[in-house]
């Protein structure tokens, strides 16, 4: 249980830092799952610059 809580806290902290690139009004409307997905996409685009031009659509 402790590992899960620690991992969750780390993920939330990492998400918060990366999501600062997105306007606050947009961040407030995102679900926690969408925030994790966007954080992953931001990290991928940092690691692989060719992905920066790839459109990403989150739909419910």
Distance CA 47, CA 31 (A): 24
Quick one: pLDDT at residue 1?
39
Find the angle CA(49)-CA(36)-CA(23) to the nearest 5 degrees.
Answer: 75
pLDDT in tens, 13-38: 767 788 888 898 988 888 888 888 88
Cα Rg, the chain, nearest whole Å? 13
Quick one: pLDDT at residue 10?
62
Considering the entire predicted model, what is its pTM? 0.63
Give me the percent of the chain exceeding a pLDDT of 70. 77
Domain borders along the chain are 2-53
Quick one: pLDDT at residue 42?
85
Give 57's pLDDT tier (boundaries 50, 70, 90): confident
Half-sphere exposure of 5 (CA within 13 A, CB side): 2
């Amino acid at each position: 249980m402790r590992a899960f809580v620690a991992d969750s806290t780390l993920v939330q902290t990492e998400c918060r830092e990366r999501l600062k690139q997105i306007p606050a009004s947009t961040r407030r409307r995102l679900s926690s799952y969408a925030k994790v997905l966007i954080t992953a996409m931001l990290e991928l685009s940092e690691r692989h610059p060719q992905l920066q031009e790839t459109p990403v659509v989150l739909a419910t």
